[in-house]
Amino acid sequence: MNIQTAINLDDLRRLARRRLPRIAFDFIDGGADDERCLRRNREAFERHCLLPRYLRDVSKRDQSVTLFGRSYASPIGISPTGLAGLFRPDADLMLAAAAREANVPFLLSSAANASLEDALPIAPDHVWFQMYCTSNEQINDDLVARARAAKPRVLVVSVDVPVNSNRERNRRNGFSRPFRMTPGVVLEALGHPGWVLRYLRTGGIPMMRNWKPYAPEGASAGEVADLYGTLTPAPMVNWDHIRRIRDAWPGALVVKGLMHPEDAGEAVRLGVDGLVVSNHGGRQLDAAPSPLDVLPQMRASVGEDLPIILDSGVRRGSDIVIARCLGATSAIFGRPTLFGVAAAGQAGAARALQLMRNEVDMVMAQIGCRNFSELDASYLWTPAPGQPQTTSSTYETAVRPRVRAVQG
């Protein structure tokens, strides 16, 4: 299948599965424990229906959004994803270029293989930098200092990895430190010769370049990965770390991974400029609710104006429209663009973004909405009395009054 013949994001997943060995594909595709959270993320969207309005002029439609002082072409973006270079060399740089061409944000992970300093020149208006706080305060301070020097538009701090999760697919495949290329893994990988040749040609496990400055001079990629594993996760991270970053970072600051409305309120009190509501794509707490289900309460907690970006489980343009109706400003996704770049490099990532943009546009026309910014709960179907209630009706009856109360 040519990448341009992919008609939805699942096609990109199938293409990537053909090209990647199981150990790499499962790293992208898998979740924690029984992977119930993965299913829950999708089921949350399936519980909602959009109520179309017809006989409206929708010949012109605008899906642009403004985030932190900049206009983007679509309400979509690329979530931070680590080790993308394992799936295709220079994948992070390809993702940055695809985001630039589509005029959407790319959240470069600190666990990426490309460094912030390498990725930002490719897309200076589109690369945001995502970091984890480590157990070393000096390194935390230096990551923020490097961001100040490089000047990404937005600094994103992920807070939803206090400890490593139980990702059973990775454990079964031997994807752990130290990396074990067992005979079974090698034999299965040989069925994907293109990936094997690239892996060998580029020297094996790619370097995590954001962390190389903190390793001894001459450290190998494996040694840098081991260092990263000793610094993160950092279970001692708390609100004081966010306060310290807020004091040091002059630009837009976003916290990623909060799911409780009280935590959202505390973030606002500390001066955070936006939130990414996320359960880490179902890769951390398998018993966590979907971000879509907690979204109305999160919006009520912070008021109407603070940008809230939805992450986890987004696979269709209708998902993004539904999220907007429930209070999100925009949405991001990570697995689809990883599958795209694994399948066809920058063209594959661009195809993922194009498919989502096209679907958002089509859904807006179908429901009679000319401007993405105008979407609200009135476009969601609310069941009649006696029918099962959904989160859609909850937004109008419980959330919107609370939003007004918060705004006071």
Catalytic residue numbers read 280
Q: What are the Cα distances from residue 369, in Å, to 230, 321, 366, 374?
A: 50, 10, 8, 7
Strands 106-109 and 127-132: what pairing?
parallel
**ω into 162 cis (within 30 of 0):** no
- DSSP for 39-50? HHHHHHHHT--B
Q: Tokens 């293989």 identify what position?
A: 113
H-type alpha helices, 58-152: 91-102, 116-119, 137-150
- DSSP for 225-248? HHHHHHH-S-TT--HHHHHHHHHH
Asked whether the beta carbons of 302 and 274 are under 8 A apart, the reply is no
Rounded Cα distance between 132 and 60, Å, is: 41
Nearest partner of 331 among 179, 104, 124, judged by Cα: 104
Asked whether the beta carbons of 330 and 76 are under 8 A apart, the reply is yes
* Both tokens assigned to 266: 């505390």
Quote the distance between the C-alpha of residue 407 and its chain's center.
28
SS3 70: strand
Nearest partner of 17 among 342, 350, 353, judged by Cα: 342
Neighbouring C-beta atoms of residue 262, cutoff 10 Å: 10
Provide CB contacts within 8 A for 385, sequence distance 6+. none
